[in-house]
Amino acid sequence: MSATARKTAPLPDDIRARKGGAPLVSLTAYTTPMAQMIDAHCDFVLVGDSVGMVLHGLPSTLGVTMEMMILHGQAVKRGLTRAMMVVDMPFGSYEEGPQQAFRNAARLMAETGAGAVKLEGGVAMAETIGFLVARGIPVMAHIGLTPQSINTLGGYKVQGRGAAGDRLMADARAVAEAGAFAVVLEKVPQGLADRVTSELPIPTIGIGASAGCDGQILVVDDMLGLFTAFKPKFVKRYATLGEEAEAAIAEYAREVRERRFPAAEHVFADTVPGQTS
Per residue in 100-144, pLDDT (tens digit) is 999 999 999 999 999 999 999 999 999 999 999 999 999 999 999
Per-residue pLDDT, 4: 58
Per-residue pLDDT, 31: 98
Per-residue pLDDT, 195: 98
Kindly report the average pLDDT of the chain as a whole number: 95
Contacts of 75 (CB under 8 A, 6+ apart): 30, 31, 32, 35
Question: Does 77 belong to an annotated binding site?
Answer: no
Domain boundaries, the chain: 12-239
Question: Does 120 belong to an annotated binding site?
Answer: yes
Per-residue pLDDT, 1: 59
Determine the average pLDDT of the residues in 59-64: 96
Report the alpha-carbon distance of residue 18 to residue 183 in Å, rounded.
13
What pLDDT band is residue 156 in, cutting at 50, 70 and 90?
confident
Enumerate the H helices of 5-63 as residue ranges: 12-16, 32-38, 51-54
Report the alpha-carbon distance of residue 265 to residue 277 in Å, rounded.
22
Question: Does 244 belong to an annotated binding site?
Answer: no
Give the tens place of pLDDT for each residue, 145-155.
999 998 988 88
* Superfamily classification of domain 12-239: Phosphoenolpyruvate-binding domains (3.20.20.60)
Is residue 82 over pLDDT 70? Answer: yes
Give the tens place of pLDDT for each residue, 198-238.
999 999 999 999 999 999 999 999 999 999 888 999 999 99
Question: Does 236 belong to an annotated binding site?
Answer: no
Give the tens place of pLDDT for each residue, 1-53.
556 566 789 999 999 999 999 999 999 999 999 999 999 999 999 999 999 99
Per-residue pLDDT, 5: 61
List the catalytic residue out of 186, 244, 251, 258: 186
Is residue 277 over pLDDT 70? Answer: no
Is residue 63 over pLDDT 70? Answer: yes
Question: Does 49 belong to an annotated binding site?
Answer: yes
Per-residue pLDDT, 60: 95
> In the chain, where do the E strands start and end?
24-28, 44-47, 84-88, 116-120, 139-144, 182-186, 204-207, 215-218
Cβ-defined contacts of 198-206 (< 8 Å, 24+)? 199/169, 199/172, 199/173, 200/172, 200/173, 200/176, 201/19, 201/176, 202/16, 202/19, 202/176, 203/15, 203/16, 203/18, 203/19, 203/24, 204/172, 205/24, 205/26, 205/140
Report the alpha-carbon distance of residue 120 to residue 180 in Å, rounded.
11
Full-model pTM: 0.95
Residue 127 catalytic? no
